[in-house]
Chains A and B, each alone.
Chain A
Amino acid sequence: MSDTEQQSCPRKIFLSRDTTSLALGAEQVADRIRASEKHRGEDIEIVRTGSRGLFWLEPMIEVDTAAGRVAYGPLPIDQLDETIESLLDADCLAGDKRHPLCLGLTEAIPYLAKQQRFSFSRVGVIDPLSLADYQQHGGLAGLHLALTMSAGDILAVVSDSGLRGRGGAAFPTGIKWQTVHDVDSEQKYIVCNADEGDSGSFADRMLMEGDPFSLIEGMIIAGIAVGAQQGYIYLREEYPNAHSILKQAIASAEAQQLLGNNILGSSKHFQLELRLAAGAYICGEETALLESLEGKRGMVRAKPPLPAISGLFGKPTVVNNVLTLAAIAGILTRGAAYYRDYGIGRSRGTLPFQLSGNIKYPGLIELAFGPSLRTLLEDFGGGTYSGRPMRSVQVGGPLGAYLPAAQWDIALDYEAFSQHNAVLGHGGIVVFDDSVDMAEQARFSMEFCRIESCGKCTPCRIGSTRGVELIDKICTDGCSANNMNLLEDLCDTMTHGSLCAMGGMTPIPVQSALQHFAEDFSKQGEQDD
């Protein structure tokens, strides 16, 4: 590139606008760059992207070079002025790698390089609100294909891909869609469950903030496949940034005839509405979500009827997680076999794991199913943040099991986890070091259920309250046989008696804590003895 060319076009800095990035200071970085731009008289374009998911390196900026993007980070917030100036002085905009904060080519950073990014391939790369950017990076190819395919063919591809619901239940998406497709009804719905409420879970948000069109495209394709013309995104109320991005993305999709009548000039129609959730964990349960979407109190419905047969307003409804729907366009573009070739056993494709808690390198790691949990914790996570020994890991949200070191070699696979009374869930992984009190964590699991229970079924409504009380009692009075039998009975009653997974799975973390960390429960008892 010649000097004249360099001066004639503005030089670009890529900076994430993801919620986590903002929390780490990305907005201050942007402000500072703009200030420098002014006083230095330089012409710099800041492109706001999603996050690459390398949170320990953020705030991080990237610049384009012929070899690819080069990253700098983490930028120290308390020395931002000097850092930005020094970066600009060092001609970081040209990709000069000599600056101490230079991380080299972004995609060569091992944390990223070792991933198998499928659904997140564009996240952190593109401007989430630029449809042109989206298309340049392969977006809309799936939709264009879908518009030429029969519903049956789309359903076949989805089935063959082996894609399963990414919300946690891992129900085969193809079967769900086929069921909705097969019900004879003039009105059907596609509902995206974006009420991401699991502790340690942030992939849905990152995707919606980083690549919203992939979700929209997936929903349109779902609509075409099952014969639905109306979609809803039920978005977690506590995600204002995602809300604003999705709102703009939907508006621009409408303006570009991606949404509305006669999509891209075809005879297909699809309307999409964004709804803010009611601020309750239980509204992430699909039937409670539907109640809430209907404007009612978020209470779990008994199944049957399945939502696929009688869902929103009693009509056949696909309820899918954000990640499920966001994978669709890619699957269509690259073919069922491409996706299916990733993974092991019945767990096909990739899962974007979310690593957080007491961990050195927290972030988003999209991998094919199969490697061990330990790979994530050690190879990616690099041990605890505190530097103390790692003791316990909760996988799959607040209803997931606490796994001791002995179980960290389990393969990341739905079936392997379930064999160990654990769940992979939505792929959220929260790490604890050896200072954790697992009795306290078990209590917290019951407490979480107590706070979030919708109150409909008895085991969950009363059981969770009694559970908290009982664990308190165990912690003060000790693990007498009576107390432990009662807790076991309570857990059994909640597991087998609850109406939905909220009450039904609450015993998982409790019992795993009891089973693997029994010593934490008898501390008080021992002192009394």
Chain B
Amino acid sequence: MIKHWDPSAIDYETDYGTPAPQPEYSPEYAELPEVSLFIDGNSLKVPAGSSVMRAAALAGISIPKLCASDNLQAFGSCRLCLVEIEGRKGYPASCTTPVENGMRILTESGKLAALRRNVMELYISDHPLDCLTCPSNGDCELQDMATAVDLTEVRYGYDGKNHLQAEQDRSNPYFTFDPSKCIVCSRCVRACEEVQGTFALGIDGRGFDSKIVAGQKQSFMASDCVSCGACVQTCPTAALIDNAIIEHGQPQRSVVTTCAYCGVGCAFKAEMKGNQLLRMTPYKGGPANRGHSCVKGRFALGYASHPDRVTEPMIRDNINQAWRTVSWDEAVNFAADRLRTIQQQHGRRSIGGITSSRCSNEETYLVQKMVRAAFGNNNVDTCARVCHSPTGYGLKQTLGESAGTQDFDSVEKADVIVVIGANPTDGHPVFASRLRKRLREGAQLIVADPRQIDLLNSVHVASTLHLPLRPGTNVAFINAIAHVIISEGLEDDAFIAQRCETDAYREWKSFISDAKHSPQASAAITGINADDLRQAARRYANAGNGAIYYGLGVTEHSQGSTMVMGIANLAMLTGNIGRAGVGVNPLRGQNNVQGSCDMGSFPHELPGYRAIGDDSVRAQFESVWGVELDPEPGFRITNMLNEAVAGRYKGLYCQGEDIAQSDPNTQHVQAALRNLDCLIVQDIFLNETAKFAHVFLPGSSFLEKDGTFTNAERRISPVRKVIEPLGGKADWEATMALSNALGYPMNYQHPAEIMAEIASLTPTFAGVSYQRLEQQGSIQWPCNQDAPGGTAVMHETEFVRGLGKFVVTEYLPTSEKVTRRFPLLLTTGRILSQYNVGAQTRRTDNMQWHPQDILDIHQHDAEDRGIVDGDKVEISSRAGATVLTARITEQLQPGVVYTTFHHPESGANVITTDNSDWATNCPEYKVTAVQINKVTEESAWQQDFQQFSSKQQALLKDKLSS
């Protein structure tokens, strides 16, 4: 019987030895033809281009191997995988031999057995004989292969030349390199190159002296290594191994789950020993990451079991009191009483809630449901407000759906990749690795960013174009690109005629044709060289597949929504939408920021982005929820804070978000929080916001609950409980308890029931169920009758809104301008090793990479101010001032300074202002006019912060048990 290759039969726990063959590039990406062959007498068909090793593995025949792994190109070095092929001389390596029609292959014979055993004998003649005490014992490919080839003795003895005394490198906090156990298979080197794209590892010396080295023979820590873990993951021995495994031994079981850091949404296996999480290893079955990881998801886990975790509910009457630990009942009753009292005194709309983009879809859904059904108003918002709300708005207006158009696999088919206002190597590292892989294959890169981001320095990339624009001038830039495309006739007329609204296009075209959008005219605004801009426009318009990826550098502006629409215009203009390899792709920040938006976390929208003002929509929810809903949209976060300062808004339930650190104009936020009568914070740590709270409900980490996260590609992925919640309740259970205390009953037994309710009320989620998630692994919404398996690429034949709509995008300069008083522009961003407010990563060894936030300043601006590397400098804006350490850099243009916001004491948001996007109030984090001065001590705000913070810590430490 002929066995046909069945793509769906791929088992992600099996290593097939070499990657699945990819079709040669063609606009259609035709399917690969099949090749028939015989392996050990079995007849089978596999895709052309497969290796003999892979074909055998697909047929369930495993050929011994050490240097091969199916995420790396075949290398052919270990020589264990030799086979015999009828009609061919010698013993070809099965990993490097492609299949051919009619090939007859023998994978086992006496000769092959002898050759393999003899090769293994050579390996073991230079390997420590400490299997029983080796941390890899039981999880070692060398050990497995020695068994597979039946090695029983090493006739060379052990007195020969060897590497057994080679010195270990323990510089990295998470893993150890032990060269004595290295078999020089180069898998680590190749993983660093092919998977991660950093090229930090290499081989020094040759022949027997070959050894793996990091950087220029540096320690791993001192080298370019970004600690992504790809080398550790692929190492077949204990040469590169997690310190956790050295310390605690091999895991006993593993559970596939979804990373809780960024919006890439990597699938991981949580590897457990008893109730202890030993490590997270990337799971090949996750389509977002395809088996890759970054330093955060792979290693930065210590926070989940950190002693700072608060695991008991606590209450206090006011924030000058010590906390009192209480039972869950007492805590939620206390909270419910206070909230009801506030409503009695200040009205129904005087309280509200903030959902968390860190929590699951189900949990977010419950919070907004509680606000609408139990609080009786629509005062619900989420942190997407301060990051990607313009994405939701802008894409809805133009394309009809508030989400990115592609899956991450799409980047593998892009020819010109435009990255605007994003720093993927730091913010979305696993996606950046996939992007860089495509660049190494020849795709062109265009980056529009004030900074020279690291992506531009990728290794082996032939074409990069950097458009260093001035902060705040995105819209002028995107208009100029569109202007060039129109004026040079590079638009896709057929696409526009067929897919877009004609009148809107005509109006937009006459707008964009105006000479004020010409590259020369806009150069005065953006600072981008006109020729470079034309070059970029032509490349994007003429690309076979042009893809745009953007980040918060697009949205966090006073014209964030305008810019998003400008991007959508550009994609429609060039027909770069509706197929693999193209699209408009927001790189979303948090693990579940897409999900929190989808789940109705906005004051004007119910789950599925449906207007609260729409009577029929509201009626559906009312009938299922059994309450009457307020038709009036509620407060956004900004409104809540303003109302709180004004004394009209008094109660807030804040789940898993730290607005005191993350929101702009910290002093304003703090004033608002101080004015609340009841602040309920639900978090895993006593975060900055919780220092102002009256009720603290212990949150649960992603390891402690079931649920789903939705990543930047609309992919709903399961989060699976591996340990019981440290605080006794998962976050959804805590919300339920509070709702019940408020008198609105909720009684879910499992998040699957919540998802069933979501699916019943949300057309784009109609087909989503835990059962389907189990079967498929993950689902990209929309998932419904029309797309039962989900949707990888949106807007394929028509836009969600029907016809695409060009929107006129007039550039209006931000009011945040440089002045004589504030002559520099501050922009902010993230760094690889730390995550957002740092609540998690600051409680891990990632601190070794980034112990403090630094102010980057150009040499020119530094010299003007007499600043040298390492000086303390004060950054002041019209909102406030803070002090950081300066670093001189040329990654920036003169006139722009940059910092990260990972450490609360840095007070980056003390400086940012309350300027915001005209449509969504997304704060303008990316542009603040500032002055920099050399100083000797911290700012007044920082001194106050230290004082307040230590007081609150003391109040936590002195907590009373009741």
CB pair A499–B118 under 8 Å, yes or no, is no
Enumerate chain A residues within 8 angstroms of B97, measured Cβ to Cβ: 304
Q: Does B75 contact A (CB under 8 A)?
A: yes
In the complex, are the beta carbons of B115 and A496 less than 8 A apart?
Answer: yes
Does A469 contact B161, Cβ atoms closer than 8 Å? yes
Q: State which residues 438-486 of A face B: CB under 8 Å.
A: 450-466, 469-470, 482, 486
Whether B208 and A459, one on each chain, are in contact in the complex, defined by CB atoms closer than 8 angstroms, is no
- Looking at the complex, which of A126-134, A219-227, A487-495, A520-528 is the stretch in contact with chain B? A487-495
| Contact (Cβ within 8 A) B155 A482 | yes
Q: Which residue of B lies closest to A503 (CB)?
A: B79
* A to B CB contacts below 8 Å, 16 in the list: A297-B203, A302-B75, A303-B96, A304-B96, A450-B207, A455-B203, A455-B210, A456-B77, A457-B79, A459-B79, A459-B119, A459-B122, A462-B122, A492-B114, A497-B79, A497-B82
Does the CB pair A493–B208 fall under 8 Å?
Answer: no
Of all chain A residues, the one with the shortest Cβ separation from B122 is A462
Chain B residue at minimum C-beta to C-beta distance from A282: B206
Query: With A466-B156, A498-B79 given, is the CB distance from A458 to B206 under 8 Å?
Result: no
Q: Are B208 and A499 in contact (CB under 8 A)?
A: no
Residues of A309-366 at the interface with B, using a CB-CB cut-off of 8 Å, are none
Query: Does A280 sit within 8 A of B, measured CB to CB?
Result: yes
Q: Given B155, B202, B205, which contacts A455 in the complex, CB threshold below 8 Å?
A: B205
Residues of A within 8 A of B118 (CB): 489-490, 492-493, 497
**Assuming the A-B contacts A297-B203, A458-B123, A465-B161, are A499 and B79 also in contact, with contact meaning beta carbons closer than 8 angstroms in the complex?**
yes
Asked whether A486 and B77 contact (CB < 8 A) given A297-B203, A493-B118, the answer is: no
Complex Cα distance A451/B161, Å?
14
Chain A, Cβ-Cβ closest to B112: A496
- Contact between A302 and B93, CB atoms less than 8 A apart: yes
Quick check: A302 and B76 within 8 Å, CB to CB?
yes
Contact in complex: B96, A302 (CB < 8 Å): yes
Q: Which residues of A line the B interface, CB within 8 A?
A: 280, 282, 297, 302-304, 450-466, 469-470, 482, 486, 489-490, 492-493, 496-499
Q: Give complex CA distance A490, B111 in Å.
A: 13
How does the 8 Å CB contact mask read for B205-248 relative to A, with 1 for contact and 0 for none?
Answer: 11111100000000000000000000000000000000000000
Q: Inside 8 A of B125's CB, which chain A residues have their CB? A: 462, 466
Interface membership of chain B positions 828-867, coded 1 if the CB is closer than 8 angstroms to chain A and 0 otherwise: 0000000000000000000000000000000000000000
How long is the Cα–Cα vector from A312 to B118 in the complex, in angstroms?
Answer: 34
Residues from chain B with Cβ under 8 Å of A496 in the complex? 82, 90-91, 111, 115
In the bound assembly, the distance between CA atoms of A20 and B207 in angstroms comes to 31
Highest count of chain A CB atoms <10 Å: which of B91, B93, B125, B207: B207
Kindly report which residue of chain A lies nearest to residue B207, judged by CB atoms.
A453
Cα-based distance from A497 to B117 in the complex (angstroms): 11
| In the assembled complex, B98 has its CB within 8 A of some CB on chain A | yes
Q: Does B910 contact A (CB under 8 A)?
A: no
Q: Report the separation of the CA atoms of residues A498 and B79 in the bound assembly, to the nearest whole angstrom.
A: 7
> Which chain A positions have C-beta within 8 A of B82?
496-497
Of B79, B98, B111, the most chain A CB neighbours within 10 A belong to: B79
Contact of B206 among A302, A454, A459 (CB under 8 A): A454
Closest approach, in angstroms, between the C-beta of B162 and any C-beta of chain A?
Answer: 9
Q: A residues within 8 A CB of B98?
A: 304
Q: How far in angstroms is the closest Cβ of chain B from A7? A: 62
Residues in B with CB closer than 8 Å to A450 are 207-208
B206 surroundings in chain A (CB, below 8 A):
280, 282, 452-455
Q: Are A457 and B122 in contact (CB under 8 A)?
A: no
Indicate if B312 sits at the interface (CB-CB under 8 A): no
B678 interfacial by beta-carbon distance below 8 Å: no
B874: which A residues are within 8 A, CB to CB? Answer: none
* CB of A51, distance to nearest CB on chain B (Å): 34
Is B415 located at the chain interface by the 8 A CB criterion?
A: no
Determine the chain A residues whose CB is within 8 A of the CB of B122 once the complex forms. 458-459, 462-463, 466, 493
Give the residues in chain A near B126, CB-CB below 8 Å: 462
Question: Which one of B82, B98, B208 has the highest number of Cβ atoms from chain A below 10 Å of its Cβ?
Answer: B208
Which single residue of chain A is at the shortest CB-CB distance from B206?
A: A455
**Main SS at interface, chain B:** loop
Check A461 against B184 for contact (C-beta < 8 Å).
Answer: yes
Q: Which of chain A's residues have a CB closer than 8 A to the CB of B547? A: none
Q: State the CA gap A282–B210 with chains docked (Å).
A: 14
Give CA–CA (A461, B98) in the complex, Å: 25
B207 touches A452 (CB 8 A): yes
CA distance A397 to B80 in the complex (A): 29
Nearest Cβ distance between residue A415 and chain B, in whole angstroms?
Answer: 15
- When A and B form their complex, which 3 residue pairs have the shortest distance between CB atoms, in order from nearest? A302-B76, A455-B210, A453-B207
Question: In the complex, which residues of chain A have a beta carbon less than 8 angstroms from the beta carbon of B91?
Answer: 496-497
A497 CA to B114 CA in the complex, in Å? 11
- Docked Cα-Cα span, A459 to B120, in Å, equals 9
Interface readout for B69-102 with A: 1 if CB under 8 Å, 0 if not?
0000011111100100000001101011110000
Task: Tell me the smallest distance from the CB of A472 to a CB of chain B, in Å.
Answer: 10
B388 to chain A, nearest CB (A): 40
Decide yes or no whether B160 CB sits under 8 A from chain A. Answer: yes
Closest to A470 in B: B156
Asked if residues A461 and B160 are in contact (CB atoms below 8 Å), the reply is: no
Contacts of A282 in B (CB 8 A): 206
Interface positions of B from 704 to 740, Cβ below 8 Å from A: none
Map CB proximity to A onto B142-179 as digits: 1 under 8 Å, 0 otherwise: 00000000000001100011000000000000000000
Taking CB as reference atom, which chain B residue is nearest A452?
B207
Determine the residue in chain A with the shortest Cβ distance to B156: A466
- Give the distance to chain B from A436, nearest Cβ to Cβ, in Å: 26
The 8 Å CB contact of B119, one of A297, A452, A497, is: A497
Q: Note all chain A residues with C-beta closer than 8 A to B90.
A: 496
Contacts of B96 in A (CB 8 A): 302-304
On whether the beta carbons of A465 and B77 are closer than 8 Å, the reply is no
Additional 18 contacts, C-beta under 8 A, given A462-B122, A499-B79: A302-B74, A302-B75, A456-B76, A457-B77, A459-B122, A461-B208, A462-B208, A463-B122, A466-B125, A466-B160, A469-B160, A492-B118, A496-B111, A496-B115, A497-B91, A498-B79, A499-B76, A499-B93
A120 to B74, CA, bound (A): 43
Beta-carbon contact of A455 and B119 below 8 Å: no
Interface residues of B in 296-340 (CB under 8 A from A): none
Residues of chain B with a CB closer than 8 A to A451's CB = 207
Distance between Cα atoms of A461 and B202 in the complex (Å): 17
Bound form: Cα–Cα A470–B161 in Å: 11
Chain A residues near B93: list those with CB within 8 A: 302, 499
A371 to B161: give the CA distance in the assembly, Å. 45
Q: CA A376 – CA B382 in complex, angstroms? A: 90
Which A residues lie within 8 Å of B209 (CB)? 455
Interface hits, B182-215 → A, CB 8 Å: 183-184, 186, 202-203, 205-210
Q: Tell me which residues across on chain B come within 8 A of A464, comparing CB atoms.
A: 207-208
The distance in angstroms between the C-alpha atoms of A452 and B126, with both chains bound, is 19
Q: Is the CB of B208 within 8 A of A455?
A: yes
What's the least CB distance linking B801 to chain A, in Å?
43
Complexed CA–CA distance, A466 and B210 (Å): 15
Bound CA–CA A184/B111 (angstroms):
40
Minimum C-beta distance from A487 to chain B (A):
10
* Cα distance, A459 to B117, chains bound together (Å): 11
